Structure 1
Amino acid sequence: LTLGIKAARHEVVVLTTGNTRILSDKWLRLMARHFGQGKEVVIGYAAPVAAIDPDSEEAVKEPWKRLHAFDTVRTAVEYLSWGLAGRPYRATCHNLAYRRSVFFRNKGFSRTLHLKYGDDDMFVNEVASGANTVVEISQGAIVEVPEMQPQPAHKVSKLRYGYTAGKLRTWSRVFFGSCSLAWWIFTGCCIGLALVGLPSLVPLIAASVLYLSLTLILAFAWRSTSRALHSRSLLITVPWFMTFEPIYNLWYRIKGFIKRGSNLSWS
């Protein structure tokens, strides 16, 4: 990457990868248009998609497919929404653009030469700000990354990001972690209301109505978001995944800590 950026003849570089599928002939124009407005970094989105036979053994792992789709969208919502709010902190190597002057001013990837992965996240975390960065998520600017083995690919990606996430400068993990905590508290309060009110059915009905109302709002909002990000549309499974996602993330954090040496270039 460093050699390619040095060899580039013009100021703006747009980065993608060899396995990325460009969906629109407007992609380059949409990613590059912001540089004329004084921006220095443009963060795009890349949607992972399965490039396998739908009848294969890999494709029929339905529960994992849904869980990984949920986790992928939630991760994207986290960093894209934070960027849209003026606090960019990470990006994807499949869809990213910036000025060469920013790259050289930051001394390139000099701070991450000890890492095998995460150079895109760490670089954007170092140079991006609300003033010089914009998030481009129009449909024509979204690209897809086909995966022949989507489930193993998701696991590897999560382990890699889990290692570099702790090194990123951001409050997003605290904010979205508090959202997960709020969901657990809300669920616990509904269960507690239903149990404390027994044998009367009025508290049980009230708790059920409250829980169902919020669940439906979240589920339909999530469905719209998933479709916009080219992911699998989820509905009734969203509350289940929201409840157990902190446990899922904790498991990968422990697993990533055990295998942390695999992320270092010297290992």
Structure 2
Amino acid sequence: MCWCIFAGNSGSTAMTDIYLYILLSSTGILFIYWILGWTKIGLYRKAAQTTAQPVSIIVCAHNELHNLKLLIPKLLQQDHPDFEIIIVNDRSDDGTYDFMLETKSDRIKNVTVDQVHDHINTKKYAITLGIRAAKHDVLLFTDADCMPYSDQWIQEMTNGFTDQTDFCIGVSQYTKTKGFLNRYIRYETLLTAINYSSWALAGNPYMAVGRNLAYRKSSFLEHKGFNKFQHITGGDDDLLINQFANKKNTQVVLGADALTHSIPKTGWNTYFKQKLRHFSVSKYYSTKDKALLGLQSLSNLLYWLSLIILALQTNQYEIPLAVLGFRWIILMNLNFFTSKKIGDRMNSWLVPVLDLFYVLFVTITGTIAIFTKKVKWK
């Protein structure tokens, strides 16, 4: 029927038929990804309350004095009977060392990194020292510029642990502020969270974010930590999951009480560098995960290219507009319902604009990341 509309009204050419086929095929492929996210997150039910497990919270900080002054009180207020807070001061020169000495609490343990080692990435080295200092098997990670939404954060994130569980994947959003950049950051972060949480719920964990991630010290040591990718900048979270997490040993934790939020970038240049660092790690994913992510990205790109070409080549807009409307209706509903389930509801009215910008930004940044040999943490 689709071909008939074009043939009858505009003398459809063979190339037009090909573009239409690409448009409909890419829409079908993307629909599968969207439905996976919608159903898996929609059907998610959080684990029943379990006996509180002792937990070691690990935070690595490089010149994060201001943020530590905000974060540490929030962590100390957590409603959990048995936890310690390990602050790894990674070569800070902003007064962090003196502040930590003055911060009095039996729950806090200070670890200091004084030098850089050539054989291992600086952040991975800092994390490794924090893990070695931890006295508990369950480790819960966040960043210095993050905040838990609730005083139940520790309890919620550790509820997922059973005897078979080595990894608990949480979600972290960015604080809502004014401006298009912030709206885009929150939108992109939500789409990423939909991807990694729904895939993990489907039995294929491929990444996580270190702003809200828990795993066992025993599992980390058993797999020899970051040994396989210790020289790579980034990947202390997603490469660890990509290499060692599987359907049987991984749980996902969703909900407002399990959520953390971070301070977003305020400039396009700094945000671009952050995403470049994130995307540069994905080239080390497993072949299967690179293929699945590549298919998703390629389908997005081909969708827009074929849609634009069809709109320019023919006076018949029924099919392109119908497919575009279908896409935006799905994405607006996906955005609304999944963000609600995750615990940080987002408005959907800007999705059409954010969607187009997302495809452009991810395509450009991802392509540059493939050819970038080295990026820095701090």
- Over 3 Å counting, the alpha-carbon distance change for 1:151 and 1:182 in structure 2 is closer
1:19 aligns with 2:145: yes
Higher relative contact order (CA 8 A, sep 6+): 1
- Code of the residue aligned with 1:234 in structure 2: it is S
Partner of 2:171: 45
- Over 3 Å counting, the alpha-carbon distance change for 1:207 and 1:128 in structure 2 is closer
- Code of the residue aligned with 1:19 in structure 2: it is D
Counterparts of 1:240-251 in structure 2, within 5 Å, are 240-251=353-364
SS at match of 1:262: coil
Q: After alignment, is 102-111 or 226-235 more displaced?
A: 226-235
Distance 2:243 2:319 in 1: 49
* 1:47-92 CA distance string (max 9 Å, x none): 1225xxx6xxxx4xx3333333322222222212211111001111
Q: After alignment, is 176-185 or 164-173 more displaced?
A: 176-185
SS at match of 1:144: strand
Which residue, 180, 187, 199 being the options, matches 2:300?
180
User: Which structure's CA Rg is the greater one?
Assistant: 2
Shift of 1:46: 0.9
SS at match of 1:177: helix
Do 1:47 and 1:231's aligned partners in 2 also have CA atoms closer than 8 Å? no
- Code of the residue aligned with 2:131 in structure 1: it is I
- Code of the residue aligned with 1:262 in structure 2: it is V
Partner of 1:131: 248
Distance 2:144 2:324 in 1: 45
Partner of 2:21: none
Partner of 2:190: 73
Partner of 1:201: none
- Code of the residue aligned with 1:21 in structure 2: it is M
Counterparts of 1:193-232 in structure 2, within 5 Å, are 195=314, 197=316, 204=317, 208-209=321-322, 211-229=324-342, 230=344, 232=346
Q: Taking structure 1 as the reference length, what is the TM-score of the superposition?
A: 0.78
Distance 2:229 2:134 in 1: 22
Distance 1:30 1:179 in 2: 36
Partner of 2:228: 111
Note the residue ranges of structure 2 that are not aligned, 5 or more in a row: 1-126
- Code of the residue aligned with 2:198 in structure 1: it is S
Distance 2:166 2:266 in 1: 35
Distance 2:266 2:280 in 1: 22
Distance 2:266 2:152 in 1: 29
Distance 1:224 1:150 in 2: 29
1:35 aligns with 2:161: yes
1:262 aligns with 2:375: yes
Partner of 1:99: 216
Alignment RMSD: 3.0
- Over 3 Å counting, the alpha-carbon distance change for 1:180 and 1:208 in structure 2 is closer
1:142 aligns with 2:255: no
Sequence identity percentage: 25
- Code of the residue aligned with 2:314 in structure 1: it is L
